[in-house]
Amino acid sequence: MEKSEPKKNNERWHYFITGVLVGIIAMLVYGEFAKSSHTSEPVSAPQAQVQSTPLPAEAVQELTALQKASDANPKDAAVRLSYANALHDARMPQQAVEQYRKYLDINPANPDARVDMGICYFDSGDPETAIKEMKQALIYVPKHQMAMFNIGVVMMSTGKVKESQQWFKKAIEVNPSTETAKRAQKVLSEHAQLQQP
C-alpha cells in the first residue's frame, strides 16, 4: 500500500499539470476565436461577456435603426441578419441570439449565421448549445471551416482537449492555406509545445 502513495501523488500532479495546460491553451485559443462571416475580427474573451462599456453614439444609432427596420419588416431576412450581426459586434450576445433565431426561422440553411449564433451562445456561457448550433451548420455545409475551428475552440474551453484537437485538424484539412487553418495550426503547435517535458 505504501508504494501506491507516490503513484497517487504523481497522478495528482499529472491532473494538475493537465489542468494548467488546458487553461493556458484556452487563453491562447480565446485570442484566436474566429467569427464566421460578417466580420473578420476574432472574438476575444468568451463566457458570459456582455457589453460593459458604453457603445459609441454611432453604434447606438445603427442598432436603433436596425431594430426599427427589423420591427417594421419582420420577414426581411437581410435586415434581421444585419441587426443580429450588429448586436453580436456590440458584444450583446443574448440579444444577438434572439435575432439570429428569428433570422434562422426565415432562412434556416445559413451556416454562417448558425456559427455566429453559436459564438453568441458561447459568449453567454452556454458552450453545449454553441457546439450544437455549430454542428448544425455542418449539416448544411459539411466542410465549413469556421464551424470546425470554432467547435475546437469551444471544446478546448470546456476541457475536451483531444476532441478539440480533432476539430482543429479537420479545419486544417479543409484548406491548409487559409487564415483559419493557420490559426488552427498555431493552436495545435502551441499545445504540442506545452505538452513537452
Residue 122 belongs to a domain with what CATH number? Answer: 1.25.40.10
Domain-located, residue 7: no
Q: Which three cell numbers stand for residue 6?
A: 507516490
Domain-located, residue 18: no
pLDDT of the residue at 52? 60
| Residue 181 near residue 171, CB atoms below 8 Å | yes
Q: Which three cell numbers stand for residue 41?
A: 475580427
Domain-located, residue 73: yes
Q: Name the 3-class secondary structure at 124.
A: coil
Q: Which domain holds residue 108?
A: 28-36+52-195
Split into its structural domains, the chain has a count of 1
Rounded Cα distance, 88 and 40, in Å: 13
pLDDT of the residue at 169? 97
From first to last of its 197 residues, the chain has per-residue pLDDT tens of: 344 334 444 444 444 444 444 444 444 444 445 444 553 333 433 444 455 678 888 888 888 899 999 999 999 999 999 999 999 999 999 999 999 999 999 999 999 999 999 999 999 999 999 999 999 999 999 999 999 999 999 999 999 999 999 999 999 999 999 999 999 999 999 877 776 66
Q: Which three cell numbers stand for residue 139?
A: 449539416
Residues 6+ positions from 30 with CB-CB distance below 8 Å: 43, 44, 45, 46, 153, 157
Domain-located, residue 46: no
3-state helix, strand, coil in the chain (%, to 5): 70, 0, 30
pLDDT of the residue at 17? 42
pLDDT of the residue at 149? 97
pLDDT of the residue at 195? 67
Q: Contacts for 98-106 with beta carbons within 8 Å, 24 or more apart?
A: 99/70, 102/70, 102/74, 103/77, 106/75, 106/77, 106/80
